Structures are given as C-alpha cells and as structure tokens.
Amino acid sequence: SSTVYLSPSMRVTSVVPLVVGLCFVVGIGIFWCDVPLRTRGELPPPSNDLDQSSSNGTVVCRYVDPDPTKGVECHGMMYVDRDVHEARVSEARSGLAKPFSMTWWCNAALAFGCVAMAAMAAGLTMGLNGLDEEDLARLTAIRAEDLQYEIPAAALESEIEKLKRQQYHAKTIHPVVAGHFLGKSCHRLNPTNHHYVLVTLLLLNSCANEAMPMFLKSLVPEWAAVIFSISLVLCFGEIFPSAIFTGQHQLPIAAFFTPFVKFVEVVLFPLVLPISLGLDKLLGHGQEMCRYQKARIKCQVRMQLEDDEVKMIEGALELAHKTVDHIGVMTKLSDVHMLEINEELDQRRVQELMVVGHSRIPVYDRVYNNIRGFVLVKDILKRLTSLGGNFNEMGCVADHPEVIRRVHVMAPNTNLLDAINVFQTGRHLALVCGDPNAAVASWSNNAPLPESCQIQGIVTLEEVIEELLQEDIKDEVDIEVEERIQKNRKWMALNFNAARGRVTTNSRDNAEKLLRCRTVGDSDLEEPLIGDLQIYRNSMPSFGSIRDAS
C-alpha cells in the first residue's frame, strides 16, 4: 500500500478540485432549472385576502399571498405583482441578475469556478511540462545509502524521508510526462505525453477563460466584466498559479493533480488526440533523449565536484573512446626494456634488471618482434636464491622455461574499458598486436611470430589506471628516475663543456671518476646507474681532450 505525502501547506489545496467540481455541477443545475415566469394581465392591488369572480359568477379563486414575488397560478395562468414583473423585465433587458439572488449566486460560483479552472490549467501547464523526464528518472534511481557520504549524520534520517517523498511524487508524475499516451502500442496513432498533456491543459485553460465573461456579464456591466476578466485571468489565472506550481513545492503539487489531469485527458480525448498527433508529425516527438549524455554529465560534474573527482569521472567516461594504441597509453616496442631468451643472466645483467625497476620484463627470441612471453624479476631472484646465489649456474632464460609466462595480446583498436576487464582477470601486461589470433597460434605451436602480427608495443595496468585518474602514478622507481634525469642534465652539461675543452678542475675530477667507474659501487658520486654510465662513457671524450679551463 502506498501513502500520499502532503505537507501541511498542501492540505488546503487538496479540496480545490472538489470545490470546483461541486460549484460547476450545482451551478449548472440551478442555471438550467431557473425557468422564467410567464406573466399575463394585471393584478388588483395586493392584499392578503382577495375574492375574485368571473363575469358569469361560475369561478371564484380565493388565495392568500404571503410572498407576492412568487405569484399565484389559476387555471394555468400565473399572476404576479406588477413591481415584481417590472423588476424582472428590467433585469432581463439589462442582462444583470438581481444582487444576491439565486441567479446571481449561480453566476458568481461559475465565474469563480472558471478562474480556478484557468489557474489550475495554467499552473499545471508550467508545472508538468517544466519537469524533465530524465531528471525524474534520475531522482527515482537515487539510493538512500548514497546520501550518507554527503549528508551529516544528524540530518540523514530526515533527508532520507524527504528523498522517499520526492521519489514517490516523481514516480506518480513520470508516466504522465514521459513516453506515449497509449503506452507502447498503436505507435502511429499514439501521441507523445508531452504534446498530449500540453494540448489538454491549454484547451482546459482556453475554455475556462472564454466562459468566464459569460457569467461575469450577469454580475456587472459589460465594461466592468472586461476589466475583471482581464485582471482575474492575468493575476489569478496566470501569474500566481505559474509561480506556485513552479516553486519549491512543484513536485508534490504536480503529483497531487496528476489524477485530475488523467481524468481530463480521457474526457477531452476526441479533441486532444488529432491535435497532439499533428504536433508530433509537425514538430517531432517532443523531448527526445539527448545525444550528448556524457558531455552533459561532464559539465554537471565540473560544476559540482572537486578537481580530482572531476578528473576521475571524466577519465572513466573517456575509457570507452580511447584505444590501447593511444598516445600515452601504449609504450612503443623500441622503448621497451626486454630480455633476450638466450642471454646469460650473469651478475651484471641481473643487477641491470633490478636497477631498471620493472617487475615484468618481456622476453624475445633473436629479434624484438618475436616476443615469447615475459618473466617476473622476482622469479629470477627466486631461482637465483635456490642456486645459492651462484651466477655461473644461472644460465639463460631458455634454461628455465618455467619462469616464462604467457602474455595477453590485444588489437590496436581495443578500448581501455575492455583492457581493464582483461587486466581484472589477473593480467598486468599485454602486447598490442595487429593479429592477436596469429600470435596465439604461433605460441601454441612454438613457432616464431609471423610478420602479420606487427607488434607495436605493450600496455600495462598502471598506464590504463593513469588514463582513468588523468594523473601520473609515481612509485619509488619513478622518483629515482626523476632524480636520475636531473643528474643526467648536469652530466650532459659536463659532456658539452668537455667537448669544447672548457672544464673546471672539479669537473675534470668528476669526469675522470665517471669514466673510470664500472659498477654502481665503484664511484664516489651518488650511485649513478649503469645505463647512464654506459651512455656517458661512449659520449665523453678521452682524458687527453679534456683541458683544464680553470
């Protein structure tokens, strides 16, 4: 069972339809039953006791007339007082009803009913058609538990109750403003609710506004009826209702009058149906779903949330449109640090793997494009530990096939959302390949990868998460790399000066130390990395070309 939620301020308006309907029914009944009295001849001077005889003395009517305004009937003739007759004739000629008479009250009630009906129709036109069906659907989809993250605990219970009331009102209104009037059947002769409700309320408003002067002219002169009709329609039929029906109580008011709107829709069906169908054909099907849903969501998010939240949500919305070969997502094969399957895992090579800082290293056979899988650095270290740290017995990766793991393959047009779903299965590394099926078949047959594979690079889970967060994820290794880049800039400046013979005494000493060191622990500098040492050994000039410029 459902309960109608109405605030105390709304209980007064709950009787408006009943009062309006009662006024119409009673007023129309009295109006049509008020038959004009027929008058004939003249009556003798009024008296309470009168004998009247015909010329032949055969018929005598004796009556007592306590109310001369009603008259008396004799042999089918109605006799009334002269003053009453003249007053009625004057009233009929002027078109005005006698003040506070039954006719006057009837016309006043009908005029008030027209104003109330016009006000209700005008207010509902703004109130119902001003509601967006998407906003109503989103309101009904809000979960109560989601409020606990943005509402203080003290006000949480009242906010949840308020949300339930709003959702009830939204569910009541949504079938009236969304979709089609006849549901999903009879599509060709099924107008949209947007146009059907609009035409229904406009017809009701027009009928009430046009009928009101007919009743006002029986109460006041015609010039006053024009002034009153314009004032009443403008103030009480347009301005006030529109302000009330679109105010803070828009949802409860619209939900309360929804049954009345449905009733009027059925009553005016023959008139509204062809007009609303014509509007659908001429102007389209009302409110269509917006094509730019994600753009609207991004705009709303940017206006209401913090910068970090905006970046994450925008990144999530863009995952389905970015592919793995997007710039910044895929690492090109030429930039990937790999390990040849037949390369000896001596102390120097193992130290290089540790210094690089990658947990997964792709393994290739002879050529870069012939990737056979990847190895975990921790598996190599475990294997080395099991051998007692003896590098001579370590051999190469081919001697330990159990450490080679199968890598997942993706097509270049795979979007990042699908990539995340793949990574959720326990994969953290994937190859970007032109023909994934051919690569998988070659690995299954232990054959080299064909040229059709065209391996372009690799994609890692970290890179996809960075696209989701719209920020770079930095770990300890990344920080070390940044520090190393800063050192490299100094070394590059040293190399630039040395090439031109301009090196100070201190710079020359540092250059000599840099050129002589072979491993990480051999230099007095702050532990330069092996890769940098190799680069700068090849680029630095010989000692003989370095001249002391101090």
pTM above 0.75, yes or no: no
Among 428, 436, 392, 391, CA closest to 412: 436
Question: What's residue 229's pLDDT?
Answer: 74
Q: Which amino acid is at 372?
A: R
* CA separation for the pair 7, 15 (Å, rounded): 14
Residues contacting residue 147 through CB under 8 Å, at least 6 positions apart: 156, 159, 160, 163
Give the start-to-end residue ranges of the domains of the chain. 8-96, 104-283, 292-321, 322-469, 477-545
Chain centroid to Cα 189, Å, comes to: 30
Residues contacting residue 527 through CB under 8 Å, at least 6 positions apart: 520, 521
Question: What's residue 518's pLDDT?
Answer: 39
Chain centroid to Cα 240, Å, comes to: 30
Among 217, 129, 214, 133, CA closest to 178: 133
Topology (CATH) of 322-469: CBS-domain (3.10.580)
What φ, ψ does residue 368 adopt, rounded to 5°? -60, -35
Instruction: Going residue by residue through the chain, which has 550 residues, state the pLDDT in tens, using 9 for 90 and above.
Output: 344 444 544 444 444 554 555 555 555 554 444 434 333 334 444 444 444 444 445 444 544 455 555 666 666 666 666 666 666 665 555 556 667 778 788 888 888 888 888 888 888 888 888 888 888 888 888 888 777 777 777 888 888 888 888 889 888 888 888 878 777 666 677 888 888 899 999 999 888 888 887 877 777 777 777 777 777 778 877 888 888 888 888 888 989 999 999 999 989 988 988 898 888 888 876 445 555 677 777 787 787 778 888 888 888 888 888 899 887 789 998 888 899 999 888 888 888 888 777 889 999 998 888 899 999 988 888 888 888 888 888 888 888 888 899 899 999 999 999 999 989 888 889 999 988 999 999 998 989 888 888 889 999 998 888 888 888 777 666 666 666 656 655 555 555 455 444 444 454 455 555 444 433 333 443 444 445 444 444 444 443 443 333 3
Question: What's residue 371's pLDDT?
Answer: 92
Question: What's residue 8's pLDDT?
Answer: 45
DSSP assignment of 415-448, as one string? BHHHHHHHHTTT--EEEE-S-HHHHHHHHHTT-P
Q: Which amino acid is at 517?
A: C
Angle made by CA atoms 120, 121, 127, in degrees to the nearest 5: 85
Rounded to 10 deg, the angle between the 505-516 and 530-539 helix axes is 120
Question: What's residue 53's pLDDT?
Answer: 45
Angle made by CA atoms 409, 413, 418, in degrees to the nearest 5: 65
* CA separation for the pair 540, 88 (Å, rounded): 124
Residues contacting residue 267 through CB under 8 Å, at least 6 positions apart: none
Among 341, 394, 343, 345, CA closest to 372: 341
* CA separation for the pair 477, 357 (Å, rounded): 6
Q: How many CA atoms lie within 13 A of 32 on its CB side?
A: 5
The token duo for 223 is: 């010039």
